[in-house]
Amino acid sequence: MLHLRAIVPADRTDAVCQALADCPGATNIVVIDDAARSPRGDLVTSDVARESANEVVNALRGLGVDQDGSIALDKVDLTLSEHAEVAEERAPGHGDDAVVWDELDRQVTEAAELTWSFVAFLALATQLAGIAALIDSPVLVVGAMVLGPEFGAVAAICYGLVRKQPGRIVRAVRALVIGFAVAIVITYVCALVSRWIGVIELHRLPDQRPLTAFIYSPDRWSFIVAVLAGAAGVLSLTAGKSSTLVGVFISVTTVPAAGNLAVALALRHGSEISGSLLQLGVNFAGMIIAGTVTLLVQRVVWAAVLRGRNRRLARRGT
């Protein structure tokens, strides 16, 4: 269940309550008159099944509550209420299958912002990946994958493609390009300095790297893994499964490829440079394609679920 908290102009409170009453997935409606001071209005709260969230938000937006008041939705970890259970049963589909589009919009917007923390996490992850490439450590590769923040920007590109928002796509691509460029440059400089002061001793580096060679040796499996990770990542975002998203981070080799690219540039390993660049391209392409298709499928499937619900209601009405 989700908890709705809305600040509603007094002249629209009855209309909002009626809209909530008409929604089969909304219950526990509470009104506190003149409770809000900024903006001024009545406080209306309700418990809403996740699968009915879009319906409720759209109804409140249609009444101008988002412009003259406020709409907030919070996840409820535990609800002990027979009314809430009935509302969940009456709501169409299942909560894990529902995409709350406004929630996803906010998530991908924040994740694709080019902030200092985004660049810092990406730079730290890339340096870990560079060290992993030098010492052939799969443990450090996994750590770099988990630390990298790039999937949010990839999801923003997918969302922008589905919603036909070129501005969002440009901002996400900008964040990825600048973020990875800065991270690679920092790792490259660190690798050069480490080589000059003797931290990196070329004669002690392993000639073969069987545990991390996949970073710069893309093949058909690289694309398949990227496709699966992209689909799983979008599903985990839309279903609110953050634990599942960690598995996505461990599946894709974008950050490890960037780290290996920086080290290969510093040590002038030409074959690994091209292989790392190709690995980056393959991973991003696979995730973007799969993520976009997943969102499109979710939109089509949920529209079919709503049409089926509406047909059932129409039959009951007749």
Asked if residue 304 has pLDDT above 70, the reply is yes
Give me the residue label for tokens 């069987």.
210
pLDDT, residue 200, reads 79
Residue % of the chain over a pLDDT of 70: 89
Which CATH number, 3.40.50.300, 3.30.70.260, 3.30.470.10, 3.10.450.50, labels domain 2-91? Answer: 3.30.70.260
- H or E, element range at 276: helix 270-317
The predicted model gives 83-90 an average pLDDT of: 83
| Helix (H/G/I), strand (E/B), else coil: 57 | helix
Output the average pLDDT for the chain. 87
Asked if residue 318 has pLDDT above 60, the reply is no
| Confidence band of 127 (pLDDT split at 50, 70, 90) | very high
| Helix (H/G/I), strand (E/B), else coil: 37 | strand
Our CA angle for 26, 49, 8, nearest 5°, is 45
| Helix (H/G/I), strand (E/B), else coil: 73 | strand
Our CA angle for 240, 244, 246, nearest 5°, is 115
| Confidence band of 81 (pLDDT split at 50, 70, 90) | confident
Asked if residue 63 has pLDDT above 90, the reply is yes
Neighbours of 11 (CB within 10 A): 10
Asked if residue 155 has pLDDT above 60, the reply is yes
pLDDT, residue 92, reads 74
CB 93 within 8 A of CB 25: no
**Lowest pLDDT segment from 130-134, 141-145, 209-213, 311-315:** 311-315
Domain ranges of the chain: 2-91, 102-302
DSSP readout, 205-270?
Answer: S-S--TTTGGGG---HHHHHHHHHHHHHHHHHHHHT-HHHHHHHHHH--HHHHHHHHHHHHHHT-H
